[in-house]
Amino acid sequence: MNRTELKEKALRLLARREYSKFELKSRLREEEGIDEVLAELEAEGWLSDRRYVEQLVNARLGRYGRAHVVHELRGKGVAEELISAALPRILEAEQDALKSVWEKKFGKMPGDRKELGKQVRFLQGRGFSLDEILRLIGSFET
């Protein structure tokens, strides 16, 4: 694939949604000359890891906790400084997201330890910390 075809393919992908630089590079199967094409796309403003972080955080904020979002960003090859810059925003929205997810899925306090475990495991799977979950649900004594 020549440089022009490679750039066109990258632009078609970017027209559908945002990609991190790492993710786009892997989608293009590391063709020869890909680094130059990606640098050119960044210079022209078509490719931006900062914009990708904003988009992903916006998409995940209401449904997932900090751990899930940070893990996903790291998995997409986003630089740690961009993740750190997004962290305050994630933390600010995390409590509201936790309450929203819990109310939508359960809506009532657990009746027994089995139900408590089920709620805690579900919320931890969504990336919320145990401390935050227990603060929301309250201490449960049987």
pLDDT at residue 30 tops 80: no
- Quote the pLDDT of residue 32: 79
Percent over 70 (pLDDT), the chain: 96
Long-range contacts of 125-128 (CB under 8 A, 24+ apart): 126/63, 126/64, 126/65, 126/68, 126/101, 127/64, 127/65, 127/66, 127/67, 127/68, 127/69, 127/71, 128/65, 128/66, 128/67, 128/94, 128/97, 128/98, 128/101
- Residue-wise pLDDT for 32-57, tens only, equals 788 999 999 999 999 999 999 999 99
pLDDT at residue 31 tops 90: no
Percent over 90 (pLDDT), the chain: 69
- Quote the pLDDT of residue 8: 92
Q: Is the distance from CB of 33 to CB of 66 less than 8 angstroms?
A: no
- Quote the pLDDT of residue 130: 92
**Whole-structure pTM value:** 0.80
- Residue-wise pLDDT for 117-130, tens only, equals 999 999 999 999 99
Domain layout of the chain by residue ranges: 1-47
Determine the topology of domain 1-47 in CATH: Arc Repressor Mutant, subunit A (1.10.10)
- Quote the pLDDT of residue 141: 46
- Residue-wise pLDDT for 65-110, tens only, equals 999 999 999 999 999 999 999 999 888 888 889 999 999 999 888 8
